[in-house]
């Protein structure tokens, strides 16, 4: 049986080696955990529950079946670049255990779109079920970001239930400069033109945007052909109070320390978009309470990644189960006409 993650043995390994070992274990995982049903139809997808895996864990689409077997309602693989690229030099992944956090500067380490598409096709041909998305990325040396995103989307067309335009990783030079209304609109239109009509299109933003930038992008995204906005990616900021000696490493910080920043960014985007686009809450989510907080702040779905390292392989199942139990009263309640309904209740009722 798959050992609970993290195990003491895995944490004795350097972070990237431990991650690769976890992926090998998941390839042979017999688990097929099914939390109590909490079906959701938001952000252009249908999922068994609103708890998803964020991009960055299964970069190459190697363990989709194993991850869905942990109880996730949906998984997002990648980032995936059009052409294979090795990413940044090692070491590039750092475990901040005292802070329950990670710093990464992977730099879109990718096997390339063709390899990922072949794996997804094989998974689907073997009867693989579940909601699977692909995080779209650009090659480091490319001068045509929109073309790169569209190329990956074209490669996985008909295989992925959703694709996410990632313009927010801090580890590819110039990528975050694409977080402007003009650039995003051009990219979104290119990707939408090559995506099947039934596939959802998401955009992933960073948490380091200022309030004015969030306001502009929130209003703009509400007018674009997108189904969801992911808020947020990793941060280049370093919140006060970090204790781990690795805190000064360059790269994007994820995990518990970015919880407040990610929630603030979500609220700002939700307010600016006036609720006209579904939001996916990411960043510092570690348990069902965190997930509920993000849903109440305006998210329709939630994702996590870093918490899997510290919370273990049963975390997705436990989180989805506890959400289902806590939402049961909201699902059966019949509010009076005109009474406000919490965001998490609307998720349960979809």
Cα–Cα dist 4/311, whole Å:
9
Question: Is 195 annotated as catalytic?
Answer: no
Q: How many CA atoms lie within 13 A of 7 on its CB side?
A: 10
Sequence-separated (6 or more) residues with CB below 8 Å from residue 346: 300
Q: Is 157 exposed, middle or buried (0-12, 13-18, 19+ CB in 10 A)?
A: middle
Q: List the catalytic residue out of 169, 232, 254, 313.
A: 169
Q: How many CA atoms lie within 13 A of 1 on its CB side?
A: 9
Cα–Cα dist 253/237, whole Å:
8
Q: What is the DSSP string of 217-279?
A: HHHHHTTSS-SEEEE---BSS--TT--SGGGGSSSEEEEGGGHHHHHHHHHHHHHHHTT-SEE
Active-site positions read 169
């Amino acid at each position: 049986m798959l050992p609970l993650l993290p195990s003491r043995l895995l944490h004795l390994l350097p972070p990237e080696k431990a991650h690769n070992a976890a992926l090998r274990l998941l390839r042979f995982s017999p688990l097929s955990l099914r939390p109590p049903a909490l079906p959701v139809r938001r952000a252009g997808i249908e999922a068994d529950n609103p708890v998803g895996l964020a991009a960055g864990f299964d970069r190459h689409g190697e363990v989709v079946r194993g991850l869905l077997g942990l109880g996730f309602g949906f998984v997002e693989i990648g980032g995936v670049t059009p052409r294979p690229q090795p990413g940044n030099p090692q070491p590039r992944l750092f475990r901040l255990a005292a802070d329950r956090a990670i710093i990464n500067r992977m730099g879109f380490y990718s096997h390339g779109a063709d390899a990922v598409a072949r794996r997804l096709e094989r998974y689907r041909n073997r009867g693989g079920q579940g909601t699977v998305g692909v995080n779209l990325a650009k090659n480091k040396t490319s001068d045509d970001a929109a073309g790169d995103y569209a190329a990956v989307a074209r490669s996985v067309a008909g295989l992925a239930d959703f694709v996410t335009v990632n313009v927010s990783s801090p580890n590819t030079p110039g990528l975050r400069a694409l977080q402007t209304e003009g650039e995003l609109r051009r990219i979104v239109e290119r990707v939408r033109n090559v995506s099947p009509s039934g596939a959802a299109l998401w955009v992933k933003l960073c948490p380091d945007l200022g309030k004015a930038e969030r306001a502009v992008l929130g209003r703009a995204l509400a007018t674009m052909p997108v189904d969801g906005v992911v808020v947020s990616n990793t941060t280049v900021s370093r919140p006060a109070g970090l204790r781990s000696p690795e805190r000064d490493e360059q790269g994007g910080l994820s995990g518990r320390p970015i919880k407040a920043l990610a929630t603030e960014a979500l609220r700002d985007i939700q307010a600016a978009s006036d609720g006209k686009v579904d939001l996916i809450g990411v960043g510092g989510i570690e348990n069902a309470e965190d997930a509920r907080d993000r849903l109440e702040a305006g998210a329709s779905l939630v994702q996590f990644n870093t918490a899997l390292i510290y919370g273990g392989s049963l975390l997705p199942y436990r989180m989805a189960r506890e959400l289902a139990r806590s939402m049961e009263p909201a699902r059966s309640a019949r509010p009076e006409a005109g009474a406000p309904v919490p965001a998490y209740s609307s998720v349960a009722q979809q």
